[in-house]
Amino acid sequence: MSLQPPRTLVALLGPDLEVALQLRWAVRLATARKLDLLILHRMESREERTVEVSFDEPVQGKATGVINEVKRIIEESSELRTGPRSSTDSGEAKEPEADVVYARLKVLYFTGLPSLRRAVLAELRNKDVELFTQARTQITDMSDVDLVREQRLFLRYIPCKVVLCHGVKKENVLSRILVATAPGPNGRAALNLGRDLAVSVDGTLTALHVNPSIGLDAEQVGERRLDRLLKKSLGPEHSKVNYRVMLDDQILQGIRRVWEEGNHDLIVVGVSGFQIEGSLGTKLGKGVPVVMVSTASPFANRFKQLIEEGIQQFVPQIEREDRIALVDRVQSSAAWNFDFVALMVLSTTMAAIGLIQNSAAVVIGAMLVAPLMTPMLGFGLAVVQGNPLLARLSLRSVVLGLCVSLLGGFLVGVCTPGLEEPTREMLARGGPGLLDLFVAFAAGLAAAYASSRPGLIAALPGVAIAAALVPPIATSGLALSLGDFPLAFGALLLFGINMVTIILASIMSLWVVGLRNLKKASNWTFVGGSTIMAAVLVLGIYLSLKPRQYELTQKIPEGMVQAVQERLGTSYRFDSLAVAYDELGMQLNIQVVGETPASEDMTTEVRTVASDHYDQPVRVRLLTKIEIGVDGYEPTSPTGGENK
For domain 551-643, say whether CATH 3.30.450 is its number. Answer: no
Strand locations in 212-261, DSSP E? Answer: 242-247
- DSSP one-letter code for 414: H
Q: What is the pLDDT of residue 638?
A: 40
Long-range CB pairs of 144-152 (<8 Å, 24+ gap) are: 145/320, 146/113, 146/320, 147/113, 148/277, 149/518, 150/113, 150/114, 150/116, 150/117, 151/277, 152/274, 152/518, 152/519
pLDDT higher than threshold 80 for residue 581: no
Interval 443-492: pLDDT, tens: 888 888 877 776 666 566 666 666 678 889 999 999 998 888 888 888 89
- DSSP one-letter code for 96: P
Q: What is the pLDDT of residue 97?
A: 59
* Cα 456 off chain centre by: 24
Q: What is the pLDDT of residue 400?
A: 93
Share of the chain above pLDDT 90, in %: 8
Same fold across 1-160+296-304 and 551-643: no
Cα–Cα distance, 223 to 229 (Å, whole number): 10
Cα–Cα distance, 78 to 117 (Å, whole number): 33
More confident residue, 266 or 598: 266
Strand duo 619-626 + 642-643: pairing: antiparallel
Q: What is the pLDDT of residue 550?
A: 39
Q: Where are the domains of the chain?
A: 1-160+296-304, 164-294, 315-546, 551-643
pLDDT higher than threshold 50 for residue 636: no
pLDDT confidence bin for 404, thresholds 50/70/90: very high
* Cross-sheet strand order for the sheet of 572-582: 572-582, 585-594, 619-626, 642-643
What count of Cα atoms within 13 Å lies in the side-chain half-sphere of residue 38?
A: 22
Q: What is the pLDDT of residue 373?
A: 84
Which residue from 106, 190, 137 is spatially nearest to 21, judged by alpha carbons? Answer: 137
Cα–Cα distance, 430 to 475 (Å, whole number): 8
Q: What is the pLDDT of residue 132?
A: 92
pLDDT confidence bin for 38, thresholds 50/70/90: very high
Round the average pLDDT of the chain to a whole number and report it.
80
When mean pLDDT is compared across 232-241, 482-491, 573-582, the lowest value belongs to 573-582
pLDDT confidence bin for 89, thresholds 50/70/90: very low
The stretch 17-42 carries a mean pLDDT of 89
Q: How far is CA 449 from CA 307, 369, 455, 514, in A?
A: 19, 20, 11, 11
Q: What is the pLDDT of residue 572?
A: 84
Cα–Cα distance, 297 to 554 (Å, whole number): 57
Q: What is the pLDDT of residue 599?
A: 82
Q: What is the pLDDT of residue 166?
A: 85
Cα–Cα distance, 121 to 483 (Å, whole number): 65
Interval 538-550: pLDDT, tens: 888 888 776 544 3
Residue 128 neighbours by CB under 8 Å, 6+ apart: 5, 6, 7, 8
Identify whether the C-beta of residue 490 lies closer than 8 Å to the C-beta of residue 615. Answer: no
Can you give the C-alpha Rg of the chain in angstroms? 36
Q: How crowded is residue 268: how many other Cβ atoms within 10 Å of its Cβ? A: 29
Share of the chain above pLDDT 70, in %: 83
Interval 164-194: pLDDT, tens: 888 877 767 788 899 988 888 888 888 999 9
Residue 584 neighbours by CB under 8 Å, 6+ apart: 424, 427, 428, 619
pLDDT confidence bin for 2, thresholds 50/70/90: very low
Residue 432, classed as helix, strand or coil, is coil
Q: What is the pLDDT of residue 522?
A: 60
Torsion-angle region of residue 99: left (phi > 0), alpha (psi -120 to 50) or beta?
left
Cα–Cα distance, 344 to 25 (Å, whole number): 63
Q: Which fold has domain 1-160+296-304?
A: Rossmann fold (3.40.50)
Interval 272-291: pLDDT, tens: 766 666 666 667 767 788 88
Tell me the range of 343-357, 374-388, 523-537 where mean pLDDT is highest. Answer: 343-357
Q: Which fold has domain 315-546?
A: Glycerol uptake facilitator protein (1.20.1080)
pLDDT confidence bin for 639, thresholds 50/70/90: very low
When mean pLDDT is compared across 55-64, 79-88, 212-221, the lowest value belongs to 79-88
Class of domain 164-294: alpha beta
Provide the H-helix boundaries in 428-513: 434-452, 460-466, 470-482, 485-512
Q: How crowded is residue 569: how many other Cβ atoms within 10 Å of its Cβ? A: 11
Q: pTM here?
A: 0.65
Q: What is the pLDDT of residue 465?
A: 65
Q: How far is CA 237 from CA 191, 231, 272, in A?
A: 11, 8, 25
pLDDT confidence bin for 644, thresholds 50/70/90: very low
pLDDT higher than threshold 80 for residue 397: yes
Cα–Cα distance, 508 to 515 (Å, whole number): 10
More confident residue, 355 or 578: 355
Residue 501 neighbours by CB under 8 Å, 6+ apart: 437, 440, 441, 444, 536, 539
pLDDT higher than threshold 90 for residue 406: yes
Cα–Cα distance, 226 to 219 (Å, whole number): 10
Which residue from 577, 604, 597, 599 is spatially nearest to 588, judged by alpha carbons? Answer: 577
Interval 131-156: pLDDT, tens: 999 888 766 555 567 777 778 788 87
More confident residue, 94 or 65: 65
